[in-house]
Amino acid sequence: MITKSITNVVHSAQGGVLQFNFMQGNMLKNMLAGDIMLNLFDTPRLDMAIANIFLRQLDDSGIVRVTPLLFHNDQLVTYKNAQDEIIWQTTAPDFTAFVTLSFSHEQEETYYYSVRVENHSAQALRYDLIYGQDLSLSDAGATKTNESYCSQYLDHKVFSLDKYGYTVSSRQNLPQSTGNPLLQLGSFSPAVGFSTDGYQFFAKQYKFSHLPTIVTEPSLENRNYQYEMAYVALQLQPVTLSAGDSADSVFYGFYLSHQPEANIAQAFDVARIRANYRQPQREPATEQASPTQQGYDQRPLSGDKLTAEEIEQLFDGEKQFVEQLDGELLSFFYQEANYVTLAEKERHLERPTGHIISSGNNIDFTNPIMNSTHYIYGVFNSHLTLGNTSFNKLLGVNRNMLNQFKSSGQRILVQIGGEYRILAMPSAYEVGANFSRWIYKLAEGMIQVRAFASQSEPVIQLDIAVSGHSQPLNVIVSHQLIMGNLEEEATVQVERHGDLLQISRTGDDHGPRFSIATRGGFTGVERYVDSDSQGVQYLLLQGQIAQQASIAFGGVLNGVDSRGKWLDFEHERQAYHAQYRALLNDFSVSFSAAPQQAQKLNHAMHWFTHNALTHYSSPHGLEQPAGAAWGTRDVSQGPIEFFMAMGRYQQVEAILCQTYRHQYLETGTWPQWFMFDEYAQVQQQESHGDIVVWPLKALADYLLATDRVALLDTRLSYTSIKQNFAFTGEQETLLQHVQRQIDHIVAHLVPGTYLSSYGDGDWDDTLQPANQSLRENMVSGWTIPLTLQTLKTLTKALQAYPQFADFIARIVTLTSNMEADYHKYLIKDGVISGFIHFNQGEAEYLLHPTDTTTQIKYRLLPAKRSIISESFDKEMAEQHMKIIMDNLMYPDGVRLMDRMAEYKAGKQTYFKRAELSANLGREIGLQYCHAHIRFIEALCKMGMAQELYDNLFKTIPVGIQESVPNAELRQANSYFSSSDAKFDDRYQAYNNFDQLKTGAVAAKAGWRIYSSGPGIYINQIVSNVLGVRYQAGDLLLDPVISRQFGDVTLNYQLYNLPVTLRIYPQQGEFTPKRVLLDGQSLAFTLQDNPYRSGAALIHRQEIEGRLTAHSQLEIYL
């Protein structure tokens, strides 16, 4: 085993509070101001910083050559001057350029990059300079938790100044430890161009070219794009130097630790910033060094385009939901809903195609589960974890969606033409439930890489297969080891024990221990060890592959040992597929009049099951690598509803008991989120006002469906705030937990009413209250009908049992009083209010037609929840459904409000994130798919079959353009949590939102996988659309089927027997008129529904004894 030493931080450059840390060769690692990280990405040791100054040589035809002057430059030497300032010197054939980093010596916290260019050619030199800088302006911990999230709240204000051209002020609107940090970037020379996001500067093509757009584009976009990779770039006016002449230019960054209220209205005085600048000296005071990147040449290698014949050979079978653009094949599904993306599609995607695999023991959240995240562009494994997905990482996270840092996770370098090149964009990329496959067609032959997970135990294996090569292929497989939460935190030890490499963390006796096993040609091991801690940061495996070689990850956690185990792919694939079939009760649906729509649902059920299990057992997503916790609200919905719909009551009981253990002894409520494993004390104590309701709703739904009231006698611990969130030794029955829960609800009613106070918010996280008065005296129009629904369900479930009589009497009284105040206060002029704010005895209506403050007239959540909870009468339900259709319905789905909260550069008045986010993504853009799915539930409640048909497929990524014509291309197998209008910023969206309604503006896919939405959607399909659910063990049939579907055939299990259900929308589109089992009529009673005729209830004893395997159940509507 060969060991090489590396150093993370060699030295720092400081000025006032500013501290820039550099690695070997003066490679920028990070830019700090105390705890605040100015830049967005902490540069990995074997990569290069993405901030840079570019010199572009120009002639009459355009760009001749682009030279980066700080990093990524083979002609570079670097040294320090007598003032201890860092200088980077580039000596090119035509010029020499010096870049010096210096700081202000006055009170202002300012840094300067001084650029001197000397023309030593015999010809005139024409050039321009572009400075690009990634930005976070967030606490370092927050930055590394999620760079995209930090970028969403970074407001960029662009000024055009008379003498200095474009100047950009960037303010972090989310409060940090110092307040709201601000950085103004500008130049002392006129800047004629700017951009504000890395997706502009580097663009989607970077995934192929690995070059920024400025190599080919004459100018920056001069467009403020508020997206997810904050990167401010400034382009200076071109300069022409005569032979022998020189010129100086200066870029500056002016930092404030806190800019109160909002971003600045006018730029800080550049003349004053300039007055504090001192011309640097360029004479070297230290030895010149040429920066060399440690490790291997990372010149990326992409696969060639596959022919149609090769595609057929590689992906045998019928192709479904084929996507093409201008005759070019982009993607398709085949076989068991496997999804294949060709490289061409990736040219059109901002969000790169990715996948998360988990070992198949993830139906039980208490099992140690192994996870890994994959990306199309050669991230073969990353964020590989055993157990907790935050603290138990073996491999690092892919932090940059354009693949700019190529040492993250697990990567493969292959020797082609005598040099090692890193595998990047493949010819094709395939994902299945438990695997990814990358296919590289090269001139020298084919390389196929497959990463897959075991169905039964925590093992993930990587297979590398080569074919068509004239000789064995030399490979290096690199691994970025972190063994903790963040890179470079833990001291990682790697030891060889026989055929295994054992990996552990110094000083950790309780966390996981990992192993790596190899076979098929790996012979060498190389460790890159930190020179200070002696911890291993990178592990390289070297070998030669003639046909196939493999690497297997195993580990030890909680008594489960999977080290040294090998897998067979075909066995694991079949086992995983069988597990999904069993979990989904053999679900398969067909529509006689809409076969394609049925196949969409079948594919969605498959992939949403994958997404739902990820959310439940190992909470994280492609855009949200940090997680590892259950949101109290989320786990009470997605996982509970998924397992309830599938009749997996054992899992439901386990979730309920684990959730109630996290109830606070002192308050009776819950944390906003909590970890559920050995890190159970990690949680967020403050929670929104609706959080206390959700565990009770989940419990009430379970009791009503199963009639298993004995669960209420289960004795459970609490969590104690005073004991640092430890579980208490004291235990009480689940019923006593519920009584404490009710006590909290009663104690937090707005004084003088029976309406719950808003607290720290409700379901819409963007509408968290901005001040204490709103927390205590505001009422959510959504939380109240949710609470009423929960209390009524609990009453219905327990009212037949005498032992609960006193408790139910209390619930009935609370329900009656709350319902009276709901109608008295929340509904004004026949329209439910989004909020009411009680101020000195007066009710102020917000998000209501009478609201002149926010200008928002309608809010979706109170209206749809009032329908679902049956709090409206029939007339009001119909009236509000019309309001929704007229004011909130858009081509890509129903929106949360008729207009978004007005954005004023981060100024906060009523709500936090709604007024702080500069980006239009997630809930900010108002189409949060979770809410659209709940709208489907409301449509089912009212029996609106045609509207249900029109909206059912808008949140399914499979073939989405059929349902959403203005939908942009996206990964077609992955749940997206929001549909985001394609506007550059909040101002553009606020003034032009009607263009989205007409379809003139495109809709983009939001963050993927990590959401309760997939589980909720599956429940809607089974329980409300197809209408199969249970009540006290009896069967309820309540389909809502549009005639556009035609006759419906559903293969599904009832009472653990495979049955074929046939649903015929004949007389109507809801409510069974006749039910036959194997040709014989079944007796049923219709249930109450205030909006239409209701479900058919068939007593268990009426059907169960007559069911056989493959029975036919016919339902005539």
Residues tagged active-site? 765
Nearest in space to 796 (alpha carbons), one of 869, 694, 704: 704
CA 963 to chain centre: 23
- C-alpha 116/C-alpha 127 separation (Å) is 12
Q: In Å, how far are 101, 664, 732, 791 from 670, measured between CA atoms?
A: 50, 6, 16, 18
- Burial of 318: CB neighbours in 10 Å, binned 0-12, 13-18, 19+: exposed
Helical (H) or strand (E) element with 694: helix 694-706
CA-based torsion, 915, 921, 923, 926: positive or negative: positive
Cα dihedral value 449, 455, 458, 463, nearest 10: -10
- C-alpha 806/C-alpha 739 separation (Å) is 11
Amino acid found at 1099: H
CA-based torsion, 688, 692, 698, 704: positive or negative: negative
Report yes or no: 818 and 792 within 8 Å, Cβ to Cβ.
no
- Count of residues for the chain? 1117
Nearest in space to 521 (alpha carbons), one of 495, 500, 550, 563: 550
- Helices 783-798 and 805-821: crossing angle in degrees, nearest 10, is 150
Report yes or no: 262 and 904 within 8 Å, Cβ to Cβ.
yes
- C-alpha 904/C-alpha 770 separation (Å) is 15
- C-alpha 36/C-alpha 139 separation (Å) is 4
Nearest in space to 322 (alpha carbons), one of 934, 1041, 962: 962
**SS3 (DSSP) at 402:** coil
CA angle, 401 as apex, 398 and 405 as ends, to 5°? 55
Q: Where are the beta strands (DSSP E) in 930-1056?
A: 979-981, 1003-1005, 1028-1031, 1034-1037, 1048-1054
Token look-up 């989320």 returns: 634
Nearest in space to 154 (alpha carbons), one of 17, 263, 35: 263
Q: How does DSSP classify residue 934?
A: H
Token look-up 């959403």 returns: 964
Helix residue ranges, H only, 450-524: none
Token couple for 454:
């075991």
Helix residue ranges, H only, 300-386: 308-314, 343-346
- C-alpha 960/C-alpha 963 separation (Å) is 5
Nearest in space to 877 (alpha carbons), one of 912, 840, 827, 913: 827
